[in-house]
Amino acid sequence: MSMNTLLEKITTYQNPTVAGLDPKLDYIPEYIKEAAFSRSDDPLDAAAQALLDFNKGLIDALCDIVPAVKPQAAYYEMYGWQGMRALTETIAYAHEKGMYVIIDGKRNDIGSTMEAYAAAHLGTTMVNGREAAAFGGDCLTVNGYLGSDGITPLLKLCRERDKSIFVLVKTSNPSSGELQDRKLGEKTVYEAMAEMCEAWGEQALGRYGYTSVGAVVGATYPEQLKELRTKAPHTFFLVPGYGAQGGGAKDVAHAFDKNGLGAIINSSRGIMCAYKKESCDEKDYAQAARREALRMKADIMSEIKEIRLP
């Protein structure tokens, strides 16, 4: 699925949000863990099964109201190859349910190594004359510190296979300024990175005015969001930091253009752990996630009113 398709889904659902699937074991209801642990003697395999079962429940409850999911690779890698298998199965299940999948891997390397990451997460690979997809995501988060050599291998898949990427520009964490806010002459490092995103995206401009090369810009830095929305007009934003990290609807409102497009806002813990916040029965975790997703949608839409395709 292309970035265009993501924008269409956002418009259809009138919901510019993405559910982060960062399934820490602590977030998973006991009944799911107990069932998974009883099925496997291998701790990593048992954990991976719990992750997958938890995710499937969330996807079922969200797929008709939320356009996309964003699994965070780290929480799957933590359980080794068994966890990576759960990631693969989560992505396949989300696709079955029609969701757009952003793999949050923040991958970065150069040349043929970056091509290997691109094949892994967005493309396919040939083995003995047969084509196989490894993870099969629609979109991957990447780190541009290495420059064009790290991004160019992905642009081919963006053009030829309708895939997309989000490049880290201004991240949501407190220490993001240590490097990103420093001045390169007139400009900050994050502005320079945003300009590179605009340049990389030029060869992959979509029909709604945004390219396949998006940027990660944190909700916790609303002034920078506003500044970057103007300076990078063709760059779609993935915005972490809403909710648990402190960003509110008024903060993220700066990420949108006059059509209510321009960004997708992530919530991970808020949605996954809604059942804990509500103190409802843990077996109701998926419906609690749905209630929180609807609340978040209403919160953000109260600022941007309507989303229209240009």
Q: Scanning residues 143 to 182, which ones bind its own copies (CB under 8 A)? A: 143-150, 168, 171-180, 182
- When the beta carbons of 26 and 306 are compared against its own copies, the nearer one is 26
Instruction: Report d(CA 116, CA 121) in Å as an integer.
Output: 9
Q: How far is the CB of 277 from its own copies (least distance, A)?
A: 18
106 to 125, contacts with its own copies by CB under 8 A? 106-114, 116-117, 119-121, 125
Q: Is 184 in the site for its own copies (CB under 8 A)?
A: yes
- When the beta carbons of 104 and 260 are compared against its own copies, the nearer one is 104
Q: How far is the CB of 228 from its own copies (least distance, A)?
A: 16
- When the beta carbons of 46 and 158 are compared against its own copies, the nearer one is 46
The phi and psi torsions of 134 (rounded to 5 degrees) equal -85, -70
Containing H/E element for 215?
A: strand 213-217
Q: How far is the CB of 74 from its own copies (least distance, A)?
A: 4
Instruction: Report d(CA 30, CA 14) in Å as an integer.
Output: 34
Candidates 80, 280, 301, 309: give the one binding its own copies (CB under 8 A): 80
Place of tokens 């993501």: 6
Both tokens assigned to 16: 């510019």
Instruction: Report d(CA 175, CA 181) in Å as an integer.
Output: 10
Q: Is 106 one of the annotated active-site residues of the chain?
A: yes
The β-bridge relationship of strands 139-142 and 187-188 is unpaired
Q: How far is the CB of 55 from its own copies (least distance, A)?
A: 15
Candidates 47, 58, 194, 300: give the one binding its own copies (CB under 8 A): 47
Mutual angle of helices 80-96 and 43-62, in 10-degree steps: 20
Q: Is 267 in the site for its own copies (CB under 8 A)?
A: no
17 by DSSP, 3-state: which? strand
Q: How far is the CB of 96 from its own copies (least distance, A)?
A: 18
- In terms of Cβ atoms closer than 10 Å to its own Cβ (0-12, 13-18, 19+), residue 232 is buried
Distances (CA, A) of 307 to 150, 164, 214, 261, 303: 33, 21, 19, 6, 11
- When the beta carbons of 15 and 176 are compared against its own copies, the nearer one is 176
Through-space distance between the first and last CA atoms of the chain, rounded to whole angstroms: 20
Instruction: Report d(CA 218, CA 220) in Å as an integer.
Output: 5
16 to 45, contacts with its own copies by CB under 8 A? 22, 24-25, 33, 37, 43-44
Q: Is 200 in the site for its own copies (CB under 8 A)?
A: no
Containing H/E element for 71?
A: strand 68-71
Report whether 19 contacts 267 (CB < 8 A).
yes
- When the beta carbons of 57 and 240 are compared against its own copies, the nearer one is 240
Q: How far is the CB of 132 from its own copies (least distance, A)?
A: 4
Candidates 35, 65, 134, 280: give the one binding its own copies (CB under 8 A): 134
Candidates 9, 70, 85, 163: give the one binding its own copies (CB under 8 A): 85
Q: Is 49 in the site for its own copies (CB under 8 A)?
A: no
- When the beta carbons of 119 and 232 are compared against its own copies, the nearer one is 119
Catalytic residue, chosen from 24, 106, 226, 231, is 106
291 Ramachandran zone, left/alpha/beta (phi>0; psi -120 to 50): alpha
Point out the residues that are catalytic: 106
